[in-house]
Structure 1
Amino acid sequence: MSQEARNPDNHAVVALGIILAGGEGRRMGGDKAFREVGGRSLMAMAIETAQLQCDAVMISSNQTPDVFSQFGLPVVADVPKPGQGPLGGVLAGLGALPDGIDWLVTFPVDCPILPADLVIRLISAASDAGVGAAFARHAGRDHYLSSAWHRDSASVIADLLGREERRVRGPLVAMNAVAVDFDSSDQPALFANANTPDDLTYLGAILGAS
């Protein structure tokens, strides 16, 4: 499992980023990806974060691709079938990895504020440990959807989904994934989820203050 790591100021590690946008967003009243914080949609924010750190970016969603046409990115649906949750999106992304890119990094659309060195630290930690995945940990909380996956992890995920085991934690545990701690004493909204309109208001206030 090799990777060409570069620092965040010099583009990115060699990775494909995938925006996980398959949730229905019921608590948000639907269309979560297009809800705005500070005049920008959650999707636009997630894409910008991913593009700053990855060599290519795509969107995971079971909606028709034309819904996201304004972003000009490929859209992949869950595999092996819709309704598999985020893990189905991860497997779809791994299946779309082009030649020359061995790592997939996931960006949940409802978590718009992430570290600028997320990708390089996750992939470096997994590579150094000789394992196929790594995930973020912040303030004692594990963020399984902010994670990096080597292409070899696809078979593990497919096996679990075939047994109707859809929790993202499952394959991470199976592969002895590494937890990477991110300290953010100066970034109070880091890894904050936007699940409700109140969450959007909170994030908007934090971003406005910074």
Structure 2
Amino acid sequence: MERILGVILAGGNSRRFGTDKAFASLGGRTLIARTIARARPQVDHVVLAVGRDPKPYAGLDHELILDAGDGADPVQQGPLAGILAGLTYGETRGFAHVVSYACDTPFFPPNLVSTLVTSVPGSQTDCVVAMHNGEPHRIFCLWRVACRARLETAFAGGLRKMEHVAEALALAHAEFRSSDEAPFGDPFFNINSPEDLGKAEHYLNNASALFKV
């Protein structure tokens, strides 16, 4: 059985939110805690990619990894720095695949990983990107660990934007349905601002207990 590593991307600057949104409270639990709880049953192991400063995350009972790169501003490095760190970790520990998660999208599908895995069209596919209503959600991806060296080369050559990954790797996509278990039916509803947090809080307050996470 091929093992899958979950990598939760944290450590961004949360510019629009004003504070580190990973620790924002939603329904009495932090976003990072909700993300960990939802990711953990889907994969064999979970690590947190925390930029270049692990101190804010030291109290969490999970292994922390630092972003790849030269120590530059992690905001400029972008999410690929954390994904590369996860691929390197996975490669050295015998994982076949890595699934990347955003820490600000707490309603992502509970069948995220199984759907991504079944959407791999062939052995040469490097990455499967989650989609909803035809829109890609590029942080939520299944990565083949074997693509690490090629992605690292592209990163060293200046690749930073997720939308340009297709220039370096072979991509596929997995479409996810709308869900009653997410605000506005969007399982990839993400929290970028206090207003978004308020919308998510309103959803939780009005959802039935069955749908609360």
TM range (shorter): 0.7 to 0.9
Residue identity in the other structure for 1:199: D
2:192 is aligned with 1:195: yes
| 2:62 corresponding residue in structure 1 | 73
> Hey, what's the Cα distance between the residues in 1 that align with 2:166 and 2:128?
8
Conserved? CA contact 1:136–1:181, under 8 Å: yes
1:158 aligned partner: 152
**Shift in Å, 1:41:** 0.6
Structure 1 pair 129/204, CA: closer, same or farther in 2 (3 Å)?
A: farther
- Deviation at residue 72 of structure 1 after TM alignment: 1.3
1:88 aligns with 2:85: no
Gaps of 5+ in 2: 208-213
Post-superposition offset of 1:207? 2.1
Written as runs of structure 1 = structure 2, the 5 A alignment for 1:99-110 is: 99-110=93-104
Residue 134 of structure 1: aligned partner: 128
Q: Which residue of 1 aligns with 2:43?
A: 54
How many angstroms apart in 1 are the aligned matches of 2:96 and 2:123?
16
Deviations 1:126-152 (A, max 9, x none): 264641110100022100000010111
SS of structure 2 residue aligned to 1:26 = coil
* Aligned match of 1:7: none
Contact 2:50-2:57 at 8 Å conserved across structures: no
Contact 2:151 2:169 survives alignment (8 Å): no
Q: Give the structure 2 partner of residue 121 of structure 1.
A: 115
What is the distance in 2 between the residues matched to 1:106 and 1:149? 8
- Secondary structure (helix, strand or coil) at the match of 1:184 reads coil
Alignment correspondent of 2:210? none
Alpha carbon RMSD of aligned pairs, Å? 1.8
Q: Tell me how far 1:159 sits from its aligned partner.
A: 1.4
TM-score, structure 1 as length reference: 0.87
Counterpart among 161, 177, 180 of residue 183 in structure 1: 177
Amino acid corresponding to residue 203 of structure 1 in structure 2:
A
Higher mean C-alpha deviation, range 60-69 or range 70-79: 60-69
Tell me: CA distance 1:64–1:174, structure 2 relative to 1, closer, same or farther (3 Å).
closer
Query: In the alignment, does 2:12 pair up with 1:23?
Result: yes
Q: Matches of 2:60 and 2:109 in 1, distance apart?
A: 22
Q: Deviations over 1:155-205 (max 9, x none)?
A: 221112111120122224532311100011534141001000000010111
SS at match of 1:81: coil
Contact 1:122 1:148 in 2 (8 A): yes
Matching residue of 2:211: none
Instruction: Flag as ranges the 4+ runs of structure 1 deviating above 4 A.
Output: none
Q: Which range moved further: 46-55 or 65-74?
A: 65-74
Structure 1 unmatched ranges of 5 or more:
5-13
Alpha-carbon shift at residue 53 of structure 1 (Å): 0.5
CA distance in 1, matches of 2:167, 2:47: 26
TM (norm. structure 2) is: 0.86
How far apart are the structure 1 equivalents of 2:21 and 2:52? Answer: 13
- The one-letter amino acid of 2:17's match is M
Task: Give the stretch that moved more between structures: 31-40 or 172-181.
Answer: 172-181
Alignment coverage as a number of residue pairs:
199
> Which amino acid counterpart does residue 112 of structure 1 have in structure 2?
P
Equivalents in 2 of 1:129, 1:192: separation in Å?
A: 31
